[in-house]
């Protein structure tokens, strides 16, 4: 499969899917004048935590959940528009919010498409919940699920209500 554009933001930043190590659902970010790369969980968790401190963690979490609730196995243009609309409420941080919400959205779509997935997009919600609601560090949240059985993670998520 070839690279697939998810969204172009402000005509200078692109989020796309392309072949990665495991499958064709690797999320890449291409910023104007910089090389394309695959953002890591701790990178967007760090941005979201900083944005939450500035604009309110509960508000940011609620905005994330509204995007999460519309996420399925395919990129949806209405959800991309919702992301832009939500991001506009972040004022001077709107463009960065649009970029990172889109990266996370694409990541959730990728999780939904993983072969034999049991947790899908819920794994991203757990990380966002940990950094915004439980005030966990981005680095800790990024590795929290590594090496854990899906049933144990499922139980953790259920106790948090998702």
d(CA 12, CA 19): 22
Q: Where are the beta strands (DSSP E) in the chain?
A: 4-9, 13-18, 26-31
Q: Which 8-state DSSP code applies to residue 145?
A: T
* Helix, strand, coil percent content, the chain, rounded in steps of 5: 55, 10, 35
pLDDT of amino acid 2:
78
- Residue 2 inside a domain? The answer is no
Residue 8 is assigned to a structural domain of this protein: no
Assigned domain for 17 exists? no
Domain-embedded: residue 11: no
Q: 9-44: per-residue pLDDT in tens?
A: 988 999 999 998 888 999 999 998 899 999 999 999
pLDDT in tens, 51-106: 999 999 999 999 999 999 999 999 999 999 999 999 999 999 999 999 999 999 99
Is the per-residue pLDDT at 1 higher than 80? no
Task: Examine residue 122 and state whether it is found in any structural domain, yes or no.
Answer: yes
Model confidence over 119-144: pLDDT tens digits? 999 999 999 999 999 999 999 999 99
Residue 28 lies in a domain: no
Residue 32 lies in a domain: no
Nearest residue to 141 (alpha-carbon basis) of 123, 159, 154, 155: 123
Is this prediction's pTM over 0.85?
A: yes
Dist CA 124 CA 45 (whole Å): 10
Q: What is the pLDDT of residue 23?
A: 87
| Residue 50 near residue 131 (C-beta atoms within 8 A) | no
Q: Residue 135 domain-assigned? A: yes
Domain, as residue range, for 131: 40-160
Q: Domain tally for the chain?
A: 1
Q: Write the CB contacts of 146 (distance below 8 Å, at least 6 apart in sequence).
A: none
């Amino acid at each position: 499969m070839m690279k697939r554009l998810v969204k172009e933001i402000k005509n200078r930043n692109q989020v796309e899917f392309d072949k990665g190590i495991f499958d064709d659902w690797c999320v890449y970010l291409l910023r104007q004048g910089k090389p394309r790369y695959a953002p890591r969980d701790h990178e967007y968790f760090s941005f979201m935590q900083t944005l939450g401190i500035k604009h309110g963690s509960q508000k940011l979490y609620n905005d994330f959940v509204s995007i999460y609730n519309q996420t399925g196995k395919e990129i949806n243009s209405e959800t991309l528009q919702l992301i832009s609309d939500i991001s506009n409420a972040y004022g001077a941080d709107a463009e960065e919010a649009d970029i990172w919400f889109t990266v996370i959205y694409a990541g959730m779509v990728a999780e939904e498409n993983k072969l034999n997935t049991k947790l899908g997009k819920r794994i991203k919600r757990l990380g966002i919940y940990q950094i915004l609601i439980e005030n966990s560090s981005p680095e800790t949240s990024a590795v929290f699920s590594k090496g854990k059985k899906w049933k144990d993670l499922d139980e953790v998520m259920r106790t948090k209500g998702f």
